[in-house]
Chain A
Amino acid sequence: MSIPTASSNASLRAFLHGLPGVDRVGADARAAGLGTRSIKTTAKRQAIDLAISMVDLTTLEGADTRGKVRAMCAKAVHPDPTDPTVPKVAAVCVYPDLVAEARDVVGSSGVKVASVATAFPSGRSSLEVKVADTAMAVAAGADEIDMVIDRGAFLSGDYVKVFEEIQAIKAACGEAHLKVILETGELATYDNVRRASWLAMLAGGDFIKTSTGKVQPAATLPVTLVMLEAVRDFRDREGRMVGVKPAGGIRTTKDAIKMLVLVNETAGPDWLDPDWFRLGASSVLNDLLMQRQKLTTGRYAGPDYFTLD
């Protein structure tokens, strides 16, 4: 089957519906099986540091203030101020109007600034507004844009609309990386997750991201597995590497390490890098730091000794 170049609904439909179906039971079992791997001592230490360096520290609340964003950005650069050996996180993720604030704090530390855009989280607006939203975030200094796809169009089979929207946003991004949020919790089936992943990659997304974090279920292991298979297969066919970002519902170190195992076993070790795999989360960082401290000091850590966020 050929990869569609000229985008017409018929050719996209033919391609996406020609993708092999996902065995739901098999995917669930595979993800659950990989989730039982026991990662201990030095391997755990490495996994924790890798996971910290992959975190997209996120705050996406209506109640976000400039002060909260500044505090979070400071934490992104120095996750544990008492221990300089803790790596910095990959990026901070905020709403577009707070990008400048975040940019100001992270400066040249190497922490990227990501911004959600395109009428996040519902994606219900006109293309003009979405493009303007994106342009505003990029102008304010965002390195990465997290866009949401139009799930309504996707579910009703209007693949061209989704495809062209991603292309338009990609163009508006310029130098900035584009992460495409599929909102898998609303896509109903794993087959749809696979189709949406391919659609986003074909349209030029640099990353595919599971969820906005506003819909449950969010980043489950099987959904991430399906997406990792998609990026692996996409690289085999197209030669271009696309990153994956599970977001939402990753709360514990165990969740994060399960994700890393899944990456290694599905897409391969090439993806075990903050450039190609991210964890969209906020609360998981404190748990990672607590586990890290447990490994360092030999005593269980308490949340009283880490920042509230």
Chain B
Amino acid sequence: MSERLSVRKTYKLYIGGAFPRSESGRSYVVTGAKGEFLANASKASRKDVRDAVSAARKAFPGWSSATAYNRGQILYRIAEMLEGRRAQFVSEVAEADGVSGKKAGELVDAAVDRLVWYAGWSDKISSLRGSANPVAGPYFNLSTPEPTGVVGIVAPPMGPLFGLVSVIAPVIVTGNTCVVIASERAPLPSITLAEVLATSDLPGGVVNILTGSSAEMAPWLAGHMDVNGLDLTGADAELAQKCEELAAENLKRVLRPNGKTDWAADPGTGRMTAFLETKTVWHPIGI
């Protein structure tokens, strides 16, 4: 009897809750830490960026008006689903980063914990960022945080799962939607994460994941007039500068961390508050 052939997974993009191939039809070879062949992944083009931004914009009204409680529950659900596919993530992370199975297991666990941590923030962030302001007049004056809108994210090249979760979760927990350019070097865990997202009650289009060249796609995202925020965590200095200049045209909120981010450290609330706007309401007293 002949030996069984293994079923090779086809990695595609994640746009608007669906898994299309790149509009351009391109793909590229993904190799492991030791240079061995792992899989072919889609190489997204600027038109995929455009489609992903449209999908994110379409998902924004629903996601931003969902209750904070509901968004938190969905993030918990993502953590549950991620935990359920732990074995697959461990092997993908191990292959991509060339780390031992034990170390990869720790990284996957850390990603699950990070999701749970951010999920808890969903209904607390408004207490932290909102306020009742004293004003010299007969008014209640209340400030509340609101999501910025569609956020473009250049995911970190290292930490294909933990780093990715650490940049997506803080953006969506407050009600933003996002377009993520996954790690170019190690994109496979990001598409597996997309499969988790697609089965986690997360509405389609809230997270859109593109694989391919970040140098090619990020400027289109940075220049797009319908994108409201930009997280340049994964962009190198040259790309980040270019993107920042393009982002200035429509005054995007830009997050450009200084130096290398230590994902294992306490993340703080900075990544959430970077993509929040403040709405202040004046309400007359006694009416």
Interface set of A (CB-CB < 8 Å, partner B):
298-305
B132: A residues at CB distance < 8 A: none
**CB-CB contacts of B210-229 with A at 8 A, as 1s and 0s?**
00000000001001111100
| Contact yes or no, B226 A302, CB < 8 A | yes
Identify the closest chain A residue to B220 (Cβ): A300
The reply to whether A299 and B223 contact each other, CB–CB distance below 8 Å, is yes
Q: Tell me, in angstroms, the Cα distance from A305 to B224 when the chains sit together.
A: 12
A299 / chain B contacts, CB cutoff of 8 Å:
220, 223-225, 246, 249
Note all chain A residues with C-beta closer than 8 A to B53: 300
Binding site for A on B (CB under 8 A): 50, 53, 220, 223-227, 246, 249-250
In the complex, the chain A residue whose C-beta lies closest to that of B223 is A299
Q: Tell me, rounded to whole Å, the shortest Cβ–Cβ distance linking B115 to chain A.
A: 30
**Nearest chain-A residue to B250 (Cβ)?**
A302
A301:B249 contact, CB within 8 angstroms: no
Report the separation of the CA atoms of residues A93 and B223 in the bound assembly, to the nearest whole angstrom: 36
Q: Nearest chain B CB to A292's CB is how many angstroms away?
A: 13
- The 3 A-B pairs with the shortest beta carbon distances in the complex, nearest first, are A302-B226, A302-B225, A299-B223
7 new A-B pairs (CB below 8 Å) besides A299-B220, A299-B225, A304-B225? Answer: A299-B223, A299-B246, A300-B224, A301-B225, A302-B226, A302-B250, A305-B225
| CB pair B226 A300 closer than 8 Å | yes
Nearest Cβ distance between residue B52 and chain A, in whole angstroms? Answer: 11
Contacts A/B (CB < 8 Å), 25 sampled: A298-B223, A299-B220, A299-B223, A299-B224, A299-B225, A299-B246, A299-B249, A300-B50, A300-B53, A300-B220, A300-B223, A300-B224, A300-B225, A300-B226, A301-B225, A301-B226, A302-B224, A302-B225, A302-B226, A302-B227, A302-B250, A303-B226, A304-B225, A304-B226, A305-B225
Residues of chain B with a CB closer than 8 A to A305's CB: 225
Shortest beta-carbon distance, B221 to chain A, in Å?
A: 9
- A300-B227 Cα distance, complex, nearest whole Å: 10
Which residues of the other chain, B, contact A301 by a CB distance below 8 angstroms?
Answer: 225-226
Q: How many angstroms from the CA of A301 to the CA of B220 in the assembled complex?
A: 11
Most buried by B among A298, A303, A304: A304
A298 to B219 CA separation, bound complex (whole angstroms): 11
Report A-chain residues with C-beta under 8 Å of the C-beta of B224.
299-300, 302
Question: Distance (Å) between the CB of A160 and the closest chain B CB?
Answer: 49
Residues of chain A within 8 A (CB-CB) of B223 are: 298-300
B-side contacts of A304, CB under 8 Å: 225-226
Cα of A300 to Cα of B49 in the assembled complex, Å: 10
A77–B220 CA distance with the chains assembled, in angstroms: 32
**What are the residues of chain B within 8 A of A303 when measuring CB–CB?**
226
